[in-house]
Amino acid sequence: MRTTAASSAPGRLARLRLLAAATTAGAISLVALTACGSDSSSSGTDTPATPSAKAAATAAAPVTVKDPWAKAADSGMTAVFGTLVNTTDSPLTVVSATSTVSKKTELHEVADVDGKPVMRPKKGGFVIPAKGSHQLQPGADHLMLMGLAKAVRPGDEITVTLTLKDERTLRFTAVAKAFAGGKENYRPGMEKG
């Protein structure tokens, strides 16, 4: 794979253009996310993270993440996207996540609530079908990084750890890029506190 990268500069340029086009398209869908899950944050259903108790059983998960990326953000929260690929003959479920830059990381979905797209925690987690994949993308399922410890700049590398239902874990790195349309309107004042 890596050997062709240096030899095809024109091809690379074309890919960059494609990427730019895709980003623009994605931006449009994200603009619609105006009511980002703020209604569910006060329900008290969040389970406290207690990963250390079971750390001894941790093993590498048979999952890879294709094309991971993060949205650059100055503060507050941001999202990580990519394609989760399951290499096994059984379905696998991602039940939780952590990142190196956020206090909290949630598995989010975008649901239609009264005709409006709304972000909220995904009940049951992300299910990756046997020998299949599950896509995380703007406007759909994504990893929500909440309570950023610092600004995420384009080019920054964010390490994300996913935990499966069977307690196996997967760590991957997402590189941040500017994503113009990704202003997620968690209403000011409701999130900080």
Q: Which residues bind Cu ion (CB under 5 A)?
A: 108, 119, 144
- Whose Cβ is closer to Cu ion: residue 4's or residue 45's? 45
- Whose Cβ is closer to Cu ion: residue 70's or residue 144's? 144
State the nearest-atom distance from the C-beta of 104 to Cu ion, in Å. Answer: 12
Other C-beta atoms lying within 10 Å of the C-beta of residue 111: 12
The 3-class secondary structure across the chain, one letter per residue, is CHHHCCCCHHHHHHHHHHHHHHHHHHHHHHHCCCCCCCCCCCCCCCCCCCCHHHHHHCCECCEEEEEEEEECECCCEEEEEEEEEECCCCCEEEEEEEECCEEEEEEEEEEEECCEEEEEECCCCEEECCCCEEEECCCCCEEEEEEECCCECCCCEEEEEEEECCCCEEEEEEEEECCCCCCCCCCCCCCCC
Q: Locate tokens 């993060």: which residue?
A: 70
- Whose Cβ is closer to Cu ion: residue 61's or residue 146's? 146
State the nearest-atom distance from the C-beta of 162 to Cu ion, in Å. Answer: 16
State the nearest-atom distance from the C-beta of 142 to Cu ion, in Å. Answer: 6
- Whose Cβ is closer to Cu ion: residue 84's or residue 119's? 119
State the nearest-atom distance from the C-beta of 186 to Cu ion, in Å. Answer: 9
Q: Which tokens go with 193? A: 């506190």
- Whose Cβ is closer to Cu ion: residue 108's or residue 134's? 108
- Whose Cβ is closer to Cu ion: residue 3's or residue 45's? 45
State the nearest-atom distance from the C-beta of 182 to Cu ion, in Å. Answer: 10
State the nearest-atom distance from the C-beta of 85 to Cu ion, in Å. Answer: 22
Instruction: Give the residues across from 133 on adjacent strands.
Output: 85
